[in-house]
Amino acid sequence: MRIIAGEFRSRTLIAPRGDKTRPTTDRAREAVFNVLSNQLNWSETRVLDLFAGSGALAFEALSRGALQATLVENNRFALHAAKENAAALGVQQAVRQLPNDVYKFLQSPARGEFELIFADPPYSDGRTQTELPELIFANGWLAPGGLCVIEHRAGQAALAPKGAKILRELNAGEAGFTILVHQSKENISQ
């Protein structure tokens, strides 16, 4: 697993031990980041990586210039891998790791803290299509105009909750992605 572009291009990331996580492939990350790069100003982007695993999605964003990344993960092997990856890239100051259950974490209200949210739950998680996006948008985790990328099995899709619009859906191998945009009140009336 390698960083695709930016400051850390071609740097190798380690994956967590065991089979509890499923790292997003380089090809799939490249497809997603091609879309995101046309939508975001990386130097103004704060990232929330849910079900972070090794942190590959967050580290790819940091490589492209994102300000900071918060990784939420409850697997100890994944947390260790992400910590080692942050140290290897020298970005420990820009990374905050939270050893939490994602659904419990998202139940707290937020204030639009992030311009980009990645969510890569296990494909077997039955809450991916509705509950996960609903919690993200209803509890205010995403800034107005921000993007939320939900990974799921190819051929499925996450639904857009109130305040969100599907910007793009894409498939890359067995992975599918639904990219949602947070519609501020100004965007909705246009």
- The full set of domains in the chain, from first to last, is 26-189 (3.40.50.150)
How far apart, in whole angstroms, are the C-alpha atoms of residue 8 and residue 147? 23
**Which 8-state DSSP code applies to residue 93?**
G
Cα torsion through 21, 148, 4, 91, rounded to 10: -80
pLDDT tens column, 56-103: 999 999 999 999 999 999 999 999 999 999 999 999 999 999 999 999
Three-state DSSP state, 176: strand
- Give the per-residue pLDDT at 125: 79
For residues 16-44, give the mean pLDDT. 83
* Whole-structure pTM value: 0.92
190 falls in which pLDDT band (50, 70, 90)? very low
Q: What is the pLDDT of residues 127-173, one digit of tens each?
A: 767 889 999 999 999 999 999 999 998 888 888 999 999 999 999 88
